[in-house]
Amino acid sequence: MYLEPGEACALNTGFLATRVMDIEENGMKVAIVDTSASCHMVDVIEMPYRPSIIGAGMPDEYSYTYRLGGPTCLAGDIIGDYSFKEPLTEGDMLIFTDMAHYSMVKNNTFNGINLPDIVTLRKDGQFSVTRTFGYEDFKSRL
């Protein structure tokens, strides 16, 4: 028997911050973000997992519904459909919740997409960057 204690320690922890890079129309509003389902949240593609976004709802729950897509060339780099109380604009930050489990161990650099920085929020409200990733990290994975 194998026990998986990792998820129990990391469930409902961790945030992934992303920014809206562009908004297009393709049968519905599509917001391209700088986070990739295929690189940063593989469970969205591999299993029925829909991460929550702070302040967002299910499609059509709020007035403005968008399909969130990632920046890779993969046609399936779709995070999902979310609604918002206000229209999204380029540069808006979206915060995904419950992203520490699996996201850290299954992420990849497909299409040259950078891994997200690991940042710690301290008790005093200050952030500290724990780890950044660059070209050498990409190269070492080849």
- pLDDT given at position 34: 93
Residues 6 or more apart whose CB falls under 8 angstroms from that of 68 comprise: 30, 31, 33, 78, 79, 80, 81, 82, 94
- pLDDT given at position 107: 79
Pairing of strands 29-33, 64-69: parallel
Q: What is the mean pLDDT of the chain?
A: 86
Reduce the DSSP state of residue 60 to 3 states and report it.
Answer: coil
- pLDDT given at position 5: 58
Q: What is the pLDDT of residues 74-84, one digit of tens each?
A: 888 899 999 99
Q: What is the pLDDT of residues 89-126, one digit of tens each?
A: 999 999 999 887 666 667 777 877 878 888 888 899 89
Sheet with 78-84: list strands edge to edge.
78-84, 64-69, 29-33, 15-25, 93-97
Q: State the Cα–Cα distance between residues 41 and 96, nearest whole angstrom.
A: 10
Helical H runs in 16-142?
37-40, 43-46, 103-106, 135-140
Q: State the Cα–Cα distance between residues 35 and 63, nearest whole angstrom.
A: 24
pLDDT grade for 48, boundaries at 50, 70 and 90: confident
Is the pLDDT reported for residue 11 higher than 80?
A: no
Q: Which CATH architecture has domain 5-105?
A: Beta Barrel (2.40)
Q: What ranges do the domains of the chain cover? A: 5-105
Is the pLDDT reported for residue 8 higher than 70?
A: no
